[in-house]
Amino acid sequence: MQPPSSGGMDIRRRVGLNVKKFRRDRGWSQEDLAFESGLHRTYISGVERGARNPTVLVLEEIATALEIPAYKLLEETG
């Protein structure tokens, strides 16, 4: 069963694009973000591709490493 759609982009894809954007804004590689967040680089890659379904705790770890509020990872981008 598929979750209800808001008519927009899949939330996993949206989170992934936001993680990638904020990571690149800092000039970090996936490996840099993985180190700072305490996660594995392949996990960060999966999040950015929308292949992983991170928990809210993982989103908080990523946001803390990026020094942004966690809600920014859920926002729709222009």
| One-letter amino acid for residue 11 of the chain | I
For 19-64, the pLDDT digits (tens) are 999 999 999 999 999 999 999 999 999 999 999 999 999 999 999 9
44 found inside a domain: yes
pLDDT band, residue 1 (cuts 50/70/90): very low
4 found inside a domain: no
We report the CATH number of the domain holding residue 37 as 1.10.260.40
- Tell me the residue range of the domain where 17 lies: 11-73
Whole-structure pTM value: 0.88
For 52-63, the pLDDT digits (tens) are 999 999 999 999
Domain count across the chain: 1
- Residue that the structure tokens 């990571």 belong to: 23
Task: Give the residue from 36, 30, 43, 31 showing the smallest Cα distance to 66.
Answer: 36
